[in-house]
A and B are shown apart, each in its own frame.
Chain A
Amino acid sequence: MKSFRALFKSEFILSVRDMNLLFFGIGFSLLFTVVLGLIMGNKPAFDGAAYSFMEQSFGGIISIGIAATGLMGLPIVLADYRHRKILKRYQVTPVSPMKLLVVQLVVNLIYALASLVLVYGVCALCFGVRIRGSVWLFAGAYLLVLVSIYSIGMMIASIAPNIKTANLLCSLFYFPMLLLSGATLPYEIMPGFMQKAMDFLPLTQGIKLLKAASLGLPADNMLVPVIVMLALTVVCVVLSLKFFRWE
């Protein structure tokens, strides 16, 4: 526990000095919220909708923080530590690889949660957004999206043979999910064939869950996305532990 606290403290301070997570994990989603809010104001999601466009978007926007920390922050730091042989130095100490992974996970988690709180604050105070469904359901959906996206990030960190591949894989997962899962560009305005393609991205399923929970929509057909995301998480965690390399 002593080493976990010390590692966490040090890694968190380093992340603050580094600023990347601050910009991409929190800053970007906050900026996106403000801009989108200024454009859309309190407009309804569609003619006759019971909820506003911003309320509909909320479930997507908060996943930006999850994706930025889980698919960029987490794997890139770990790949960089391996590349620069910092993990090799840890290999000749009593620390367990699991502990190092979890420390990075928690650091990134804090940024994702800060992003959630701040985005919700701005949405609620400035644009009248409310969670219309069950808060518990919403929290559950958020947690599910979080663990599945982070597990993808951990897997990238473990399997990428070098820093270049890690960067490439991160971009390959992050940008499509940022643009094509409904996190930024609204899923609802996409043509049917696009929606079908977007459905293959795990984050699209997660955002559907988040939206259903935040808008209080009936959660029919939600069992499949839940099972898919849980299965994805298990596969990625197993792969990331199996393929973890110090060097």
Chain B
Amino acid sequence: MSMSTALVVQNLTKSYGPVKAVDGLSFKVEKGEIFGLLGHNGAGKSTSIECILGVKRYDAGSVTVLGLSPAENRRQLFEKVGVQFQHNNYPEKITVSELCEVTGSLYRQPADWKELLKRFGLLGMHKRMVTELSGGERQRLSVILALIPNPELVFLDELTTGLDSKARRDVWKYLESLKGNGLTILLTSHYMDEVQTLCDRICILRKGQVVFMGTLTEAIQNSPCSNLEEAYLWYSGEEETTDEVL
């Protein structure tokens, strides 16, 4: 692995019983790159991320994150890696500021969480119970928590689900500025406008297998479609079902 590579996944395979959730997934993410892992629900995105992070055991393959093995060098690695899971739970009756403070305390050089709250429009909420936040506010908080480590690499699983247009744009803008400072991002998303804005390269999964990998331009060029949305549906095999619904 060269010094400029943030993440290497080789032949990752994970089955749930007879179902192959991830089937021979291989890809690399270069440092400073925003990489999108796409596919419809159940295509294997979250399972892949959880295997990569060492949270789930995988059946075969290898994963190297920032030159380290997530399973063996857990504590060293997560000093530099931020994670936002798709579903997040927090202790009941914890306030926003308490949650941020505790999260910050786990890292040697955490980001200023007040600054992050301000950036994401949550500063006025810091005394609220996390359970009292709206869906969009909780979503923004989960992104903030992933950025508190001051990470070199951040995993964002469905980062803007439930956010309104303004909030989504704010999140994009901030992530792009972090990218400018060298942050590497691996994200999943169902929104092609988001992918179009943020991603340098994408990987589209279908039933756990890679059906496309490359840049956005390549994604469109290698398909019979004229835009990313259509190309994505064409690759991920949702076009027909969408037509049926319509």
Contacts and interface: CB of A to CB of B under 8 A. Distances in A.
Nearest to A17: B93
Interface stretch (A3-11, A154-162, A173-181, A212-220): A3-11
B91 A81 contact: yes
Nearest to B93: A17
Contact of A84 (B75, B76, B81, B89): B89
B94 A85 contact: no
B75 A94 contact: yes
Given A6-B101, A7-B105, A14 B93 contact: yes
DSSP class of B's interface residues: helix, strand, loop or mixed? Answer: loop
A242 interface: no
B16 interface: no
Contacts of A106: none
How large, as a class, is the contact surface on chain A? 20 to 34
A74 to B, nearest CB: 15
A17 B98 CA distance: 13
Of A11, A18, A94, most B-chain CB atoms within 10 Å: A94
B88 A89 contact: yes
B106 interface: yes
A30 to B, nearest CB: 24
Interface string A11-42: 10110011000000000000000000000000
Contact of B55 (A6, A86, A92): A92
B141 interface: no
Interface in B60-91: 74-76, 78-79, 81, 83, 85, 87-91
13 contacts: A6-B101, A14-B93, A84-B89, A88-B55, A89-B85, A91-B54, A91-B55, A92-B53, A93-B107, A93-B149, A94-B75, A94-B78, A94-B79
How large, as a class, is the contact surface on chain B? 20 to 34
Given A84-B89, A92-B53, A5 B105 contact: yes
A86 B91 contact: yes
A113 B83 CA distance: 38
Contacts of B74: 91, 94
Contact of A94 (B85, B87, B91, B107): B107
B92 interface: yes
DSSP class of A's interface residues: helix, strand, loop or mixed? Answer: helix
B23 to A, nearest CB: 23
A6 B92 CA distance: 17
A86 B81 CA distance: 18
A246 B98 CA distance: 22
Contacts of A94: 74-76, 78-79, 106-107
Contact of B78 (A13, A92, A246, A247): A92
Given A86-B89, A94-B75, A6 B81 contact: no
A86 B93 CA distance: 13
B246 interface: no
A11 B103 CA distance: 13
A97 to B, nearest CB: 10
A243 to B, nearest CB: 16
Contacts of A2: 105
Contacts of B103: 93
B102 interface: yes
Interface string A76-109: 0000010011101111111110000000000000
A10 B98 contact: yes
B103 to A, nearest CB: 7
Contacts of A88: 55, 85
Contacts of B104: 6
Contacts of B98: 10, 13
Given A14-B94, A85-B87, A95 B106 contact: yes
A78 B112 CA distance: 29
